[in-house]
Homo-oligomer: A and B are copies of this chain.
Amino acid sequence: MKQLNIGIIGAGRIGKVHLKSITYNVPNAKVLGITDVFKDGLQALADEYGVEKVYDSYKDMLLDPEIDAVLVCSSTDTHADISIEAAKAGKHVFCEKPVDLTPEKVQAVIDTVKEAGVKLQVGFNRRFDHNFAHIKELINDGKIGNLELVKITSRDPEPPSAEYAAVSGGIFLDMTIHDFDMACFIAGSEVEEIFVNATCLVDPAIGEAGDVDTAIINLKFKNGALGVIDNSRRAAYGYDQRVEAFGSLGAAVAANDTPTNVTLMNADAVMTDKPLYFFLERYMQSFRDEMIQFVDAVQNDKPTPTTGTDGLNAILIALAAKKSLKEGRPVKISEIL
């Protein structure tokens, strides 16, 4: 099979993750070219991974007929526009989350992609995590019966800077958006209504920036199930990423991943590893697997496993969350669009 030539737009943290995954672990694909608004170290990065082409701008990349697909890993505010341009240029698009902070623009991406007849996958990598994907399999196999309740624990090891919090669109669009998608994925349903119980306990600067850092988020799914997410911007013991699904016949519960399975026992305590520190450690396998599936979807003309609609749904829930927090009441997703 012809190798898929991929161009990466944006060589920051997540762009590098994909560059490394594709180079080493994705069959039938290579990173042919790369581009970034920051030129520093870009050529060296390309050399390190044997990337042939370094483009001055993403527009140059989109003009290159050798490029089959692009990964949009640039800053959030450029995701939608670049995705639209890429689709119009006939490139398949893998777009990091969130696609945009407004539903209108996300819809525009969806529409353009459809029109252009290219693939679109949104970077909800956690769906590919070995633990969470296994819970989904167990549910699909009927192992827990009819799904009744989804519980997601999602806590970052340490808070972002207040500056970052301010421009990120807030915790729901920046952090919880992954959990919203996970909730829908596990529940197998869109969300009907949301209620947010949140406050600022971790860093007063986050509160001054108008955001919260500790939240309990309630979900009513369209299929009748209930859901709850608890978030914190700080967990002293490290990145806490757990999912529990309860059904009529049982439950499936994912514990955290750890570096080792070693227990140390001494006069003080019985000690095991803390969770893997943060998303680069915890979710590396999922970043690789989402890319393998993206390449597979493009090359074999399959549906992408995460779609523009998934991206849109997560945004809508996040906006409803903001509204619920502001107005102190449950908000239906239908109130947003």
- A residues in contact (CB < 8 Å) with B: 24-25, 130-131, 134-135, 138, 143-146, 148-149, 151, 153, 155, 195, 197-199, 201-202, 214-216, 218-220, 224-228, 230, 232, 234-238, 240, 246-257, 259-267, 269-274, 328-330
Contacts and interface: CB of A to CB of B under 8 A. Distances in A.
Contact of A266 (B134, B218, B249, B267): B249
A218 B232 contact: no
B264 A144 contact: yes
B248 A252 contact: no
A3 to B, nearest CB: 12
Nearest to A215: B226
A167 to B, nearest CB: 25
Given A220-B197, A248-B236, A130 B259 contact: yes
Q: Could you say which of A146, A155, A232, A271 has the most chain B C-beta atoms within 10 Å of its C-beta?
A: A271
Counting from the closest, the 7 A-B pairs by CB-CB distance are A250-B266, A237-B265, A24-B24, A255-B261, A269-B271, A197-B218, A134-B260
A131 B261 contact: yes
A201 B218 contact: no
Contact of A237 (B235, B250, B262): B250
Given A24-B25, A330-B328, A264 B246 contact: no
Contacts of A138: 262, 264
Q: Which of A261, A262, A330: most chain B CB closer than 10 A?
A: A262
B253 A262 contact: yes
A7 to B, nearest CB: 21
Contact of A262 (B134, B249, B328): B134
Nearest to A234: B248
Contacts of A226: 197-199, 214-216, 230
A230 B131 contact: no
Nearest to A240: B251
A298 to B, nearest CB: 21
Nearest to A220: B197
Given A269-B272, A272-B269, A246 B251 contact: no
